[in-house]
C-alpha cells in the first residue's frame, strides 16, 4: 500500500476509536453521577438545590470531554495535519 492510503486508513481508524471511546466513557460517568445524585437526594431532600446545581455542573464537565473527543475525530477526518505534512513533503 502507498503512503496516502495508509494515512487515510490510520486517520479513519483513529477517528472511529476516538468517537467510540470518547462517547462510551462519558456516558458511563454521567450515569454514575446521576445515580449518586439521586441517592443523595433521597437521603437529604432539603439539600436538593445544591445537589442539583452541582450535578449539572458536573454533567457539563463530563459532557465537554465527549465534545472534545468528537472535535478531535472531526479534525482527524477533515483537517488532518498529517495530510498537509505529506503533501508538502511530496511536493518537494
Which CATH code fits 29-81?
1.20.20.10
CB atoms within 10 A of CB 8: 15
DSSP string over 46-61? GGHHHHHHHHHHHHHH
Q: Mean pLDDT, the chain, as a whole number?
A: 88
Per-residue pLDDT of 19-45, as tens digits, reads 999 999 999 999 999 999 999 999 999
- What is the band of 76 on the pLDDT scale with cuts at 50, 70, 90? confident
pLDDT band at 91 (very low <50, low <70, confident <90, very high): low
Q: Which of 63, 84, 67 is nearest to 7 (CA)?
A: 84
Query: How buried is residue 7: exposed, middle or buried, by Cβ count under 10 Å (0-12/13-18/19+)?
Result: middle
* pTM to 2 decimal places: 0.74
Amino acid at each position: 500500500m502507498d503512503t496516502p492510503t495508509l494515512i487515510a486508513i490510520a486517520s479513519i481508524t483513529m477517528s472511529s476509536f476516538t468517537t467510540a471511546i470518547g462517547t462510551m466513557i462519558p456516558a458511563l460517568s454521567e450515569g454514575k453521577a446521576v445515580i449518586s445524585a439521586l441517592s443523595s437526594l433521597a437521603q437529604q431532600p432539603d439539600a436538593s438545590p445544591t445537589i442539583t446545581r452541582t450535578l449539572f455542573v458536573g454533567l457539563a464537565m463530563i459532557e465537554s470531554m465527549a465534545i472534545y473527543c468528537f472535535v478531535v475525530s472531526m479534525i482527524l477526518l477533515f483537517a488532518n495535519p498529517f495530510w498537509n505534512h505529506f503533501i508538502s513533503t511530496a511536493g518537494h
